[in-house]
Amino acid sequence: MSDVARHEALIHALGAELTPVRRLLPPWRRALGWLLVVAMVAAVLLMHHGARTMLHRWVVEPDLGVAACGAVLTTITAALASFVLAVPGRPLAWAWLPVPSALLWIGASGLGCLQAHIPGMPVMDLHGANDCLVFIISYSIPLSVLMIWLLRRACPLRPVLTAVLVGLASAAASASLLEIFHNFDASASDLLMHALAVVIVVGVNAAMGGRLLSRARTRP
């Protein structure tokens, strides 16, 4: 048998053992699937709590409404950026996508703390601040797990950066969900606990999520 024939036989033998790989959906469609899960949770919370408290806070303190819009936009942009960066060959500039909305979220929240007291709204005490911290972290855990599971097949080349964006998207989504029934006036302790929760979620994702995504990349 000639060398050419042997090479062709080897190629056919190797090709026969290959398992078809299911093509990944485009990043925007996978991000949309995750965002739909967040939207369904928001719908359940709205049916249970209503929107009266949320709208009252936004009418009295428009800065809080702007901050809520910034949190929602951060959820969307961070989720999209994480799914895009998980695909090899995508430019690193995508990581900057959620930065403007995150700055809007942080800045408007800070301005809301400087406004006058909202009539009829209690000022947050330590117990209420702890509840906010627990809520954001508790809701961020399943949202982060779901996104990392969706990202593992893409084998991101920048696992830690991708995991940071996962944490930012999950924390922003949880803060947005909390806004639905958050019946406290804006205060420094409120802003501090929200910021602490976001830092914890992003940090844990960077450590654990980055490790999981790294394993997915090196998996045979």
- Give per-residue pLDDT as tens, 200-212: 999 999 988 777 7
Per-residue pLDDT tens digits for 30-81: 999 999 999 999 999 999 999 988 888 888 888 888 999 999 999 999 999 9
pLDDT at 36: 97
- Residue (of 60, 80, 83) closest to 72 by Cα position: 80
**pLDDT score, position 217:** 54
pLDDT of residue 8: 65
* Tens place of pLDDT per residue across the chain (220 aa): 455 565 566 556 544 555 555 677 889 999 999 999 999 999 999 999 999 888 888 888 888 889 999 999 999 999 999 999 998 888 999 999 999 999 999 988 877 665 655 555 555 555 666 888 899 999 999 999 999 999 887 778 889 999 999 999 999 999 999 999 887 666 667 788 888 999 999 999 998 877 778 765 555 4
The model's pTM: 0.84
| 3-class state of residue 185 by DSSP | strand
Q: What token pair was written down for 147? A: 């996104």
Q: N- to C-terminal Cα distance for the chain? A: 33
Closest of 115, 136, 119, 122 to residue 184, by C-alpha: 122
| Torsion from C-alpha of 173, 176, 178, 183, nearest 10 degrees | 170
Instruction: Report the alpha-carbon angle 128-199-36, nearest 5.
Output: 80
Residue 57: predicted pLDDT = 81
